[in-house]
Chains A and B, each alone.
Chain A
Amino acid sequence: MNKNSPNLRLAGVQTLELTQRALQNEFRQWVVILPGLIFPLMMAAVYSSQFGRTLGLPGFPEVRSFLDFILPGSIVQAVSFGATSAGTALALDIEDGFFDRLMASPVSRVPILLGRLGGAAVIAAGKAIILILIFLAFGAQIKAGIGGALIIILTASLLVLAIGGLAQSMAIRTGSQEAVGATFPLIFVTIFMSSAFFPTSLMEGWFRALAENNPITWTVDPIRRLVIQGWSTTDALQALGVPLLISVVTVSLAIRSLQKMLRSS
């Protein structure tokens, strides 16, 4: 324990340093962060204006407005933008040689990945706060109050780790920004094949089964209940637990890919 503590502390410091570097990089190209905010807001505005009639369809959950209904989906979508950028940024480091310089330095291997993800997680939390404030300004309500809002923000950060781990794994395997960037639409579609934008109760057949078994649905549904029904500890734990479990798996996958790459080089 004592022997490992300095190493762990050092890894922690290195992760923080690399998180700071990732954040500086993101803010230097702030225009790249904007789409992750603008796009979900735009979709929320569009869907609220075009799906008003669907609230009357039998099977649609009882909800005050489509804006309340779509709030969780919009946050998940915003997070997905930043998540892939954690992968493309790592691929850029590989392409431009910075990754090799990190490898030659005495930095531990895991913080190289965690630093990037840390930066993405901080930005995800920031995006979630901004989105919640904008939704509230346009009349949305979170029935679970500030506690519910905090759970949404934490879930957003955890979700970015889950998707970002996967993007990093791909970045290490391909070493190509273009290949990692090309996965973004697929993440977007995974969000569509969930309850993010429409209730699963109005879907049919195999698509409904797929949406009901999509981890995004397992994350969105409890958040939505916090928004439209009110506080529930079970919902809060589910909202946090699902992305946490997935991020453990995907980040481990990224670390394994890194170790494999280092062994083969």
Chain B
Amino acid sequence: MSSGLSEMKHSRQVAAAICMRGMRRIKARPVLIVPTIVMPVVLVISFTGAFSSLTRIEGYGTSNIYNWMAPYGALQGAVFAGIGAVGSSADDLEQGFFDRLLLTPGSRFPLLMGTVGYSAFRALIPTTAVFFFSLALGMTVPGGIIGVLSLYIATSFLAVVFCLIGLVILYKMKTQRSLMLMQVIAFGALFISVGQVPQSFMDGWLKIAARYNPITNVLELSRQGFLGDVAWSTTWPGLVALASMSFVAGGLAWRGLKKLAP
């Protein structure tokens, strides 16, 4: 019993150390975090600038393009935070540091949890950047503090999901270049959703794909506080989507890690 408790404590410490190492790495090499902050902010600028005329079309859902695009930009940033965490793991794999981590006694699980935790913390940075930037440019939050909280929950957990998906691919390909594939999957998943326009604007296959894409539920969870009041009927599908994706991707990543380092 006590050995089980001490093992759990040790696992927690290892996971926390890996998570902290990631955060320290950002401090040591700020160039790595610059795109994580700049990119979603610039995406918000790009989408609001390029597609501002969409609000002129009836049925768009809001007359303020920032209220529509800012949560989308924040989620994009979170996804890249997740991929960035995978990038650090890829670096460790290629440089041999991962082999040293494997010398850690006990389960491999904390290695996974540490990276995942790092991705969740890393996601707070672009979310905050996008939120304040968009607020300064005219975004409003009719849903109040709960609306903002919904945004943070959605972004942190989506970073976790994409970190886990990225790890599945990394453990298979074992190269930094697998991140390119990851970026495509991430952008793809976000694009085939209600990211830029509501479902009523879509035709044919896209309308069906967006309807069944779990990212649509996550987007609606994150965006609801910026379009009106927060409602449980919009919240729970988003939470279920996040939990399901984490569960599936987590299982596959754990399997991949065990295959890589039995």
Contact = CB atoms under 8 A, between A and B. Distances in A.
A184 B183 contact: yes
Nearest to A202: B53
A185 B35 CA distance: 7
A178 B39 contact: no
B232 interface: no
Interface string B152-194: 0000000000000000000001011101110110011001100
Interface string B70-99: 000000000010001001101100100000
A198 B50 contact: yes
A95 interface: yes
A57 B51 CA distance: 12
B71 to A, nearest CB: 17
B50 A207 contact: yes
A53 B201 CA distance: 7
A36 B207 CA distance: 24
Contacts of B61: none
A210 B176 CA distance: 33
B45 interface: yes
B42 interface: yes
Contacts of B192: 42, 46
Contact of B181 (A35, A174, A202): A35
A74 interface: no
Most buried by B among A177, A197, A208: A177
Contact of B50 (A34, A177, A181, A193): A193
A203 to B, nearest CB: 6
A39 B42 CA distance: 20
B133 interface: no
B197 A50 contact: yes
A29 interface: yes
A179 B94 contact: no
A185 B80 contact: yes
Given A178-B176, A185-B39, A186-B38, A53 B57 contact: yes
A39 to B, nearest CB: 5
Contact of A178 (B47, B52, B91, B188): B91
Nearest to B91: A178
- Interface residues of B: mostly helix, strand, loop or mixed? helix
Contacts of A65: none
A182 B180 contact: no
A146 interface: no
A88 B177 contact: yes
A38 B39 CA distance: 22
Contacts of A262: none
B180 A54 contact: no
Nearest to B43: A189
B204 interface: yes
Contact of A186 (B35, B91, B206): B35
B101 interface: no
Nearest to A207: B49
B187 A186 contact: no
A57 B177 contact: no
Contacts of B54: 54
A147 interface: no
Contact of B177 (A29, A39, A183, A207): A29
B196 interface: yes
Contacts of A182: 31-32, 34-35, 84, 87
A57 B57 contact: yes
A179 to B, nearest CB: 6
Contacts of B47: 192
B35 A39 contact: no
A177 B88 CA distance: 11
Contacts of A184: 180, 183
A85 interface: yes
Given A42-B188, A189-B43, A31 B32 contact: no
Given A39-B188, A178-B176, A181-B87, 6 more contacts: A32-B181, A49-B204, A49-B207, A50-B203, A53-B57, A203-B50
